[in-house]
Chains A and B, each alone.
Chain A
Amino acid sequence: MSTQRTKQLVLSAAALMLAASTACSAPGSTSEDQQDAGGPFKIAVVNAQSGQLSSLGQWEWKGAKLAADQWNAKGGINGRKIELELFDDQGDPTVGTNVARKIASEGFVAMIGTAESAVTVAMIPILQQSKIPNITSGQSPAIAATKSPFAFYNGPTSNTYDETLAKYLVDDKGLKKIALISNNGSYGKGERDAFTKALASRGVTPVDDQVVTTDQKDFSAALTSIRQKEPDVLFVGSEEVEAGLIVKQAKELGINATIAGAAPMGTPVYLQTAGEANAEGTVVSSPYLSNDTDDASKAFAKAYQKAHGEAAELHGAKAHDGANIIFTALKNSKGATGQKLADAIRATKYAGLLGDFTFDESGVGIHATSIGVISSGKLTESAK
Chain B
Amino acid sequence: MEVFFQTLVGGLGFGAVYALVAMGFSLVYRTMGLVNFAHGQVVMIGAYAASTFYMSAHVPFFVSIPVAMLVTGLIGLVIERVLRPLENKDFDLMLIGTIGFGMVLESLATITWGATGHAVPSPVDTAPLDLFGIRLRTYSLVVLGIAALATVALVLFLQRTKRGAAMQAVAMDHEAATAVGIHVGRSNAIAFAIGAGLAALAGALVAPMLYVNPTLGGSLGIKGFAAAILGGFGNIPGAIVGGIAIGLLDSYAAGRFQAYSELVVFLVFTVIIMIRPTGLFGERTVNRA
Do A222 and B213 touch across chains, with their CB atoms under 8 A apart? no
CB of B105 to closest CB in A, whole Å: 14
| B contact residues around A216 at 8 Å (CB) | 254, 261
Do A184 and B259 touch across chains, with their CB atoms under 8 A apart? yes
Nearest 6 pairs between A and B by C-beta? A221-B255, A220-B10, A184-B259, A273-B119, A224-B6, A272-B119
| A contact residues around B130 at 8 Å (CB) | 254
Give B residues with C-beta under 8 Å from A: 2-3, 6-7, 9-11, 13-14, 110, 115-119, 121-122, 128, 130, 135, 137, 209-211, 213-215, 219, 247, 250-252, 254-256, 258-259, 261-262
| A contact residues around B14 at 8 Å (CB) | 217-218
- One digit per residue, 1 when the CB lies within 8 angstroms of any chain B CB and 0 when it does not, for chain A 44-63 equals 00000111101100100000
Q: For the complex, give the distance between the alpha carbons of A215 and B6 in Å.
A: 20
| B contact residues around A241 at 8 Å (CB) | 119, 211
Determine which of B2, B137, B209, B219 lies in contact with A224 in the assembled complex, contact meaning CB atoms within 8 Å. Answer: B2
| B contact residues around A215 at 8 Å (CB) | 219, 262
Q: Which of A50, A183, A245, A269 has the largest count of B CB atoms less than 10 A from its CB?
A: A50
Q: Which of A51, A216, A220, A245 has the largest count of B CB atoms less than 10 A from its CB?
A: A220
CB of B117 to closest CB in A, whole Å: 7
Q: Does A361 contact B (CB under 8 A)?
A: no
| B contact residues around A55 at 8 Å (CB) | 116-117
Look across to chain B and name the residue whose beta carbon is closest to the beta carbon of A216: B254
Q: Does A352 contact B (CB under 8 A)?
A: no
Do A245 and B3 touch across chains, with their CB atoms under 8 A apart? no
Known: A54-B115, A216-B261, A272-B119. A221 touches B215 (CB 8 A): no
Q: For the complex, give the distance between the alpha carbons of A269 and B215 in Å.
A: 16
Q: For the complex, give the distance between the alpha carbons of A253 and B119 in Å.
A: 20
Q: Can you list 19 A-B contacts (CB < 8 A)?
A: A50-B110, A50-B215, A54-B117, A211-B259, A213-B254, A213-B262, A218-B11, A218-B251, A220-B10, A221-B7, A228-B2, A245-B210, A249-B10, A252-B137, A253-B128, A253-B135, A254-B128, A269-B119, A275-B122
Determine which of A183, A219, A273 lies in contact with B211 in the assembled complex, contact meaning CB atoms within 8 Å. Answer: A273
Q: Does A225 contact B (CB under 8 A)?
A: yes
Known: A51-B215, A245-B211. A253 touches B116 (CB 8 A): no
Look across to chain B and name the residue whose beta carbon is closest to the beta carbon of A182: B259
Interface positions of A from 241 to 261, Cβ below 8 Å from B: 241, 244-245, 249, 252-254
Q: For the complex, give the distance between the alpha carbons of A221 and B6 in Å.
A: 7
Q: Tell me the count of chain A residues lying within 8 A, CB to CB, of chain B.
A: 35
Do B7 and A224 touch across chains, with their CB atoms under 8 A apart? yes
Known: A212-B259, A222-B258. A217 touches B210 (CB 8 A): yes
Q: Does A358 contact B (CB under 8 A)?
A: no
Do A58 and B116 touch across chains, with their CB atoms under 8 A apart? yes
| B contact residues around A211 at 8 Å (CB) | 258-259
Do B6 and A253 touch across chains, with their CB atoms under 8 A apart? yes
Q: Please report the number of residue pairs spanning A and B whose Cβ atoms sit closer than 8 angstroms.
A: 105
Q: For the complex, give the distance between the alpha carbons of A11 and B228 in Å.
A: 55
Q: Does A210 contact B (CB under 8 A)?
A: yes
| B contact residues around A54 at 8 Å (CB) | 115-117, 213
A50-B215, A218-B14, A218-B251 are known; give 4 further A-B pairs, CB within 8 A.
A54-B116, A213-B259, A221-B6, A254-B135
Q: For the complex, give the distance between the alpha carbons of A245 and B118 in Å.
A: 13
| B contact residues around A58 at 8 Å (CB) | 115-116
Look across to chain A and name the residue whose beta carbon is closest to the beta carbon of B262: A213
| B contact residues around A219 at 8 Å (CB) | 10, 254
Q: For the complex, give the distance between the alpha carbons of A64 and B246 in Å.
A: 43
CB of B181 to closest CB in A, whole Å: 46
| A contact residues around B9 at 8 Å (CB) | 220
- One digit per residue, 1 when the CB lies within 8 angstroms of any chain B CB and 0 when it does not, for chain A 190-206 equals 00000000000000000
| B contact residues around A273 at 8 Å (CB) | 119, 211
Q: For the complex, give the distance between the alpha carbons of A58 and B115 in Å.
A: 9
- One digit per residue, 1 when the CB lies within 8 angstroms of any chain B CB and 0 when it does not, for chain A 268-304 equals 0100110100000000000000000000000000000
Do A244 and B211 touch across chains, with their CB atoms under 8 A apart? yes
Q: For the complex, give the distance between the alpha carbons of A254 and B6 in Å.
A: 12
Look across to chain A and name the residue whose beta carbon is closest to the beta carbon of B3: A224
Known: A184-B259, A224-B2. A52 touches B209 (CB 8 A): no
Do A50 and B115 touch across chains, with their CB atoms under 8 A apart? yes
CB of A313 to closest CB in B, whole Å: 13
Q: For the complex, give the distance between the alpha carbons of A219 and B13 in Å.
A: 12
CB of A95 to closest CB in B, whole Å: 13
| A contact residues around B6 at 8 Å (CB) | 220-221, 224, 253
- One digit per residue, 1 when the CB lies within 8 angstroms of any chain B CB and 0 when it does not, for chain A 208-242 equals 00111101111111101100100000000000010
Q: For the complex, give the distance between the alpha carbons of A372 and B255 in Å.
A: 32
| A contact residues around B259 at 8 Å (CB) | 183-184, 211-213
Look across to chain B and name the residue whose beta carbon is closest to the beta carbon of A58: B116
Q: For the complex, give the distance between the alpha carbons of A220 and B260 in Å.
A: 16
Look across to chain B and name the residue whose beta carbon is closest to the beta carbon of A268: B119
| B contact residues around A220 at 8 Å (CB) | 6-7, 9-11, 251, 255
| B contact residues around A210 at 8 Å (CB) | 258
Look across to chain A and name the residue whose beta carbon is closest to the beta carbon of B219: A215
| B contact residues around A275 at 8 Å (CB) | 119, 121-122
Do B118 and A252 touch across chains, with their CB atoms under 8 A apart? no
| A contact residues around B262 at 8 Å (CB) | 213, 215
Look across to chain A and name the residue whose beta carbon is closest to the beta carbon of B5: A224
Q: For the complex, give the distance between the alpha carbons of A244 and B211 in Å.
A: 9
CB of A267 to closest CB in B, whole Å: 11
Look across to chain A and name the residue whose beta carbon is closest to the beta carbon of B214: A50
Q: Which of B2, B3, B11 has the largest count of A CB atoms less than 10 A from its CB?
A: B3
Do A217 and B258 touch across chains, with their CB atoms under 8 A apart? no
Q: For the complex, give the distance between the alpha carbons of A211 and B255 in Å.
A: 9
Q: For the complex, give the distance between the alpha carbons of A244 and B215 in Å.
A: 18
| A contact residues around B209 at 8 Å (CB) | 217
| B contact residues around A269 at 8 Å (CB) | 119
Known: A218-B11, A221-B3, A253-B6. A51 touches B213 (CB 8 A): yes
Q: For the complex, give the distance between the alpha carbons of A136 and B46 in Å.
A: 36
